[in-house]
Copies of this chain bind each other. A is one copy, B any other.
């Protein structure tokens, strides 16, 4: 598999975004967001999406010079218009505000309309965690989830992310879509020529399918929990709750009103809704970070069913991936990904990715 040095990936992302019209500061911020996904092993949300973000700038869906504004605020809240700026621009603006309010009032709860895709939700929750706070981030998205009993899609993958600081630099990190599986996982099964498990997706008849290609073409993902008898309605409820925080509070499009995100998108702003929250543990019982560390230890020390598969605490997988990337100094991409980037380099006029 081709390998690219981490700083070279960042250089390529930044230059490509700048070439497309983003100011240096915002290109850098957005590159950091995408790089974080690749570094932690969530390749679907990293370099893989650079072309989509650049296409959004070209099509006018994203205004790379857009500046978010506060429309209304109180001690612990803010309503923001993201003004169709880049995901990282809105994310930094809103989470900085939530952190500031949490430090002053105990909680900061910020909901924004006029948003574009903001990458991994966990990146934003982590930003507050690094300030010693509990961070949370939510976003809605185009409708790919089929609510329980429904033949039609209506909800987004609507992720929830939460990071909490733990003693000794540790953290407990959650970052999960409210669907059982992401579309990217179905693509991986197609590439491997393997079926998908029951409970991931429906076929066009509204019935379960294990045919990865059919599931991909149909694009009807089941909520976390799968079918009704295994409580799939709970994943649907989770998605609806996140919808309330994102579009409900901000006045953005609800997921069922959001256009799909593709290289052909030319319908202007998706007007996504996003929500950023921070809570200051100092306002509660002393010893928060020690208690979180205690839970992490308890989870990690559980006896595994299969001794070769240790129990992972929330966030451990991403931490291990980040360490591996750091040790290696490079990120590994499929050749197809490199080819796409080289074509992109030619289009926007930047130096192609240098493979090690």
Write the residues of chain A forming the contact surface with B, with a CB cutoff of 8 angstroms.
71-77, 79, 104-107, 109, 111, 113, 134, 147-152, 154, 160, 162, 164, 172, 174, 176, 180-181, 197, 199-200, 206-207, 224-226, 229-231, 233-238, 240-241, 243-245, 247-251, 254, 256, 279-281, 283-288, 291-292, 294-295, 298-299, 302-306, 309-314
Contact = CB atoms under 8 A, between A and B. Distances in A.
Contact of A224 (B150, B151, B224, B303): B224
A291 B254 contact: yes
Contacts of A104: 75
Given A107-B109, A240-B295, A302 B150 contact: yes
Given A77-B107, A106-B75, A226-B226, A312 B237 contact: no
A149 B311 contact: yes
| Copies of this polypeptide in the complex | 2
Interface of A is mostly: mixed
A299 B105 contact: no
A149 B306 contact: yes
Nearest to A177: B234
A244 B75 contact: no
A154 B299 contact: yes
Given A75-B75, A236-B314, A302 B105 contact: no
A152 B104 CA distance: 41
A111 B151 contact: no
Contacts of A162: 241, 244
Top 10 A-B pairs, shortest CB-CB distance: A251-B285, A77-B106, A206-B305, A74-B106, A76-B76, A75-B105, A150-B302, A249-B284, A76-B107, A77-B283
22 contacts: A74-B106, A75-B75, A75-B106, A76-B105, A76-B106, A76-B107, A149-B312, A150-B299, A150-B302, A150-B303, A151-B303, A174-B237, A180-B231, A181-B231, A207-B305, A226-B226, A226-B230, A240-B295, A244-B292, A249-B285, A249-B288, A251-B284
Q: By CB atoms of chain B within 10 A, which of A79, A111, A248, A311 has the most?
A: A248
Contacts of A279: 77, 109, 249
A303 B280 CA distance: 44
Contacts of A176: 231, 234, 237-238
Contact of A74 (B235, B236, B237, B283): B283
B74 A281 contact: no
A76 B226 CA distance: 37
Contact of A200 (B72, B134, B230): B230
B304 A151 contact: yes
Nearest to A180: B231
Contacts of A291: 247-248, 251, 254
A297 to B, nearest CB: 10
A71 B283 CA distance: 10
A147 B296 CA distance: 12
A266 to B, nearest CB: 25
Contacts of A284: 72, 77, 79, 111, 249-251
